[in-house]
Amino acid sequence: MRRIWWIVLGVVVLLVVGLAAWAVPLLAQGRADVPARRLVVATPAAPGDWRVTSDELRAVPELTGLDERWSRVWERPDGADVQQAALRFSSPLWAARAFGGDDPAQQQAEFFDAVDELPVEPDTGADEAAVFCGREFARGDGCASWFVWLRYGQYVISLTADDLADDAPDDRLPGWLADTVAEADRAVTGALR
């Protein structure tokens, strides 16, 4: 009986140590507390005449631990659009959970034939970054829409953009999207200092 007690105690200790080893580094990534609206850029860096078509604060949290979500949508006269959302979670733990479990591949799967994570590392100050390509096979094998998912401590930044006819290979962002990601990164890192 004592042997079982020691085994159970050992398993509990290992679980607590493992959880602490995962949680403590994430908690150390906490950033300054700023309103989500301050993390959204004024205009995308993509070429064209962009106008804001939607600017909103969603009052009802959609994800566990989500405190605030602000989104902005821009549109060009040709109908192309770019969207940015800034999500502020109560802690980096909740943001990391959302980043890993509610990413664009999950959110957009019903709207595309495939949503693939691409081997692209955007040059940002984010703690985590991922790039996804929404494919519509009737339009060819390129990206119909791009999704960039960035996590800065307790914040998740989502950029969604229609493909603007740039034939970038799957291992790099099109130039206009790389510029838009860089602009968003400057806005976020500047606000969180």
- Element holding 116 (H helix, E strand): strand 114-118
For 36, 102, 157, the CA distances from 82, given in Å and listed in that order, are 18, 20, 13
Q: Is the pLDDT of residue 79 over 80?
A: yes
- C-beta separation of 113 from 140 below 8 A: no
The CA-to-CA distance between both ends of the chain, in Å, stands at 55
CA 168 from centroid of its chain's CA atoms: 21
Q: Give yes or no for a contact between 152 and 126, defined as CB atoms under 8 angstroms apart.
A: yes
Q: pTM here?
A: 0.80
What is residue 17's predicted lDDT score, i.e. its pLDDT?
A: 47
Lowest mean pLDDT among 9-13, 30-34, 119-123, 173-177: 9-13
The answer, yes or no, to whether residue 166 has pLDDT greater than 60, is no
Write out the two tokens for 3: 């042997």
Lowest mean pLDDT among 120-134, 154-168, 178-192: 154-168
Banded model confidence at residue 24, pLDDT cuts 50, 70, 90: very low
